[in-house]
Amino acid sequence: MEKHERRTGNVSGAFEDAADRFASGGLDRRGFLKGAAISAISVASASALAACAPRKAVSDEALSAEKSGTEAPFKAEETVEADVVIVGCGASGFMAAVRAAKEGAKVIVLEKGSNLGAPNGIYVSGPFAVGTDVLKNKPGGTTLTVDDAFHHVMNYSHWTPNPALLRRCLEVSKDAVAELEEIDYTFEEKNFRFETPFIGDKGGFHLITVPSDKRGELWEKAIAEHSIDVRFNTALVSLATNDNGAVTGVNALERGKRGITFSAKAVVLAGGGYLGNRDLQERFLHTRKLNVARGGESTCTGDTIVAAERIGAALEKTWGYCPCEYGGTHEKASRPAKQDKFDQNTAFKFGLYGCLLVDAGGKRFINEGLLCDYPMSYGSEQILRNSPWYAVVDQAYVDAMTSQGLYQYTTAKGATEKTWFIGNYFKDRILDKLPADIEEGIAEGWCFKADTLEELAEHFGLDDLPATVERYNEHCSTGEDADFGTNPWYLSPVATPPFYVTENEPSAWSTFGGLRIDESCRVLAAETNDPIPGLFAIGTDAGSLYYSPYYDIPGFCYGLCIDSGYIAAEEIISELKA
């Protein structure tokens, strides 16, 4: 497993750049909870661990024991009682905690990170929701219904997720948004940069207009008002069960040393997936190349999923990821694409802009236009399967991007404001620093420049590249891609030397796939498919919520996170009051 840092988080951060561009204040999230912005609750936690070195995820030792066929008994130095224990304080965990505590439950939240800035839940730009006051009050109102969203999502996913669960999430989405409004979140309905199914008179994407550096204060205020006990730097080791197999609590290590058993009537797993665990990436996604979109390393190491699997929980069938929509990245790059502020190395835009893309053998593998138009949905699956992937361009293309930018370059081929939805986003985004960025990429080893295609191909072992370019250039000259049907707007000949190639790896806001749950967010047993008493999973730990490739609706990952957190809390409160 990978060691973790507090910078990266527990839930998908897709569409983050929109929040910074539209929200009042527009402050950089990377400065959040640093210096004077760290308020009392975060300061107390951070200072307590100031001298601690980064450590591997606690569950490493549990996995080692599992591989050896033995498991050392957990030694608790203390037992703490609660009604509900929630593992993870990202978007879903926070929602579940607030909702349950408001109804009178004693709630403890275990967060592996050192403060509220560790999970990703504070930084997301907004949820998709139906029937909210935001939609009803927008100019012209809304015609969006639960049925609209439900049937679109289920047809898009070929009915792969749990239908009853998805419908219930959509039905309570207005309530989850209202819950955030109660802690002083504000929203604005917005169209996103991609052409999405619900725009105009429908809507559905709720942009959070509270600046990201202020959201932590709202979370802390809600935590204090509802007497929620948040334990930072506390990591799950295993789930406690009784003789009947019911979950009775959580065994955890505080600050990597002190063992505590948190006994509870209900345990909610909200650890945010497995993005920070290369071994689980390989197991579930068959790659070790998926990087963290926020940079650094992720605290989401799949501890919750593994712990539940070890007590007999079922895993879902679908595994995937919520990709970063702003370009490729690379482990050698000092400035990989993270947010679309164009302050990262702009040579990574080649891997996203619709030019010639090839696999490790030098063959085309995708309709390149899909990756530009729909980088989070239709375009995402192939770059994961073919990572690393390579973008190949010539000097004429580099000159065009440096002087014109993608918008002028592509509209000259026939695209218009009306026919090329995402094109409006690229207006005036000229890559004027591209020559220097290319040189930086060459120095770092993920970019290469050559006078011949043969030399270009040899550098990264792209054996079939010359033949691929010859056929690709034929498509460019005829204006028709006979292989993959790429829109002629995106066909850019590779003919004018020198030639350039960038090696790209994908990055993600979060992973998908995990525990199988029912419509009440109860984790199901592998042998019986019955609920495991006392155990719930929400957010991106819950495999039954998500599909691969990612949904084509902005904010849907975050929406499902808060919706499932709301549902789990409602179910738990109902059981506690029974």
Nearest CA-CA partner of 302 in 74, 88, 107: 88
Mean pLDDT of all residues belonging to the chain: 87
What is the pLDDT at residue 47? 29
Q: Which of 322-336, 361-375, 522-536 shows the lowest per-residue confidence on average (mean pLDDT)?
A: 322-336
**Please, which residues have CB within 8 angstroms of residue 402's CB and are 6 or more apart in sequence?**
430, 431, 432, 434, 435
pLDDT band at 73 (very low <50, low <70, confident <90, very high): confident
Q: Do 129 and 559 meet the contact criterion of CB atoms below 8 Å apart? A: yes
Higher pLDDT, 6 or 298: 298
| pLDDT confidence of residue 567 | 98
Within 10 Å of residue 170's Cβ, how many Cβ atoms?
A: 24
pLDDT of 58 > 80? The answer is no
Tokens at residue 230, please? 């948040």
Phi/psi of residue 469, nearest 5 degrees? -65, -40
* Torsion angle of C-alpha atoms 395, 398, 400, 405, degrees rounded to 10: 170
Do the beta carbons of residue 158 and residue 183 sit within 8 Å? Answer: no
pLDDT digits (tens, 9 = 90+) for 44-57: 333 232 223 233 33
pLDDT in tens, 373-397: 998 998 899 999 999 999 999 999 9
With 50 as the cut, is the pLDDT of residue 11 above it?
Answer: no
Rounded to two decimals, what is the model's pTM?
0.86
Round the CA-based radius of gyration of the chain to a whole number and report it: 24
User: What is the arithmetic mean of pLDDT over 423-452?
Assistant: 95
Identify which of 289, 392, 312, 316 has the alpha carbon closest to the alpha carbon of residue 347.
392
pLDDT at 59 over 70: no
Q: Could you tell me which residue, 174 or 56, shows the higher pLDDT?
A: 174
What is the phi/psi pair of residue 110, to 5°? -105, 120
Over residues 145-163, the mean pLDDT reads 97
Residue 507's closest CA among 348, 271, 396, 341?
348
Q: Percentage of residues in the chain with pLDDT exceeding 90?
A: 74
Task: Please tell me the least confidently modeled range out of 39-43, 159-163, 355-359, 367-371.
Answer: 39-43
Nearest by Cα to 22 from 243, 187, 264: 187
Confidence of residue 12 (pLDDT cuts 50, 70, 90): very low
Q: Helix H segments across 242-352? A: 278-285, 303-310
309: left (phi over 0), alpha (psi -120 to 50) or beta: alpha
The confidence score (pLDDT) of residue 181 equals: 98
Q: What is the model's pLDDT at position 344? A: 86
Q: What is the pLDDT at residue 340? A: 61
Tell me the pLDDT band of 31, cut-offs 50, 70 and 90. Answer: very low
Interval 223-235 mean pLDDT? 97
Each residue's pLDDT tens digit, 204-224: 999 999 998 899 999 999 999
Q: Give residue 144's pLDDT.
A: 95
Confidence of residue 102 (pLDDT cuts 50, 70, 90): very high
Q: Is the pLDDT of residue 34 over 80?
A: no
The CA distance from 153 to 146, in Å, is 11
Distance of alpha carbon 95 from alpha carbon 175, whole angstroms: 11
CA distance 567 to 495: 57
pLDDT at 128 over 70: yes
Average pLDDT over residues 81-95: 97
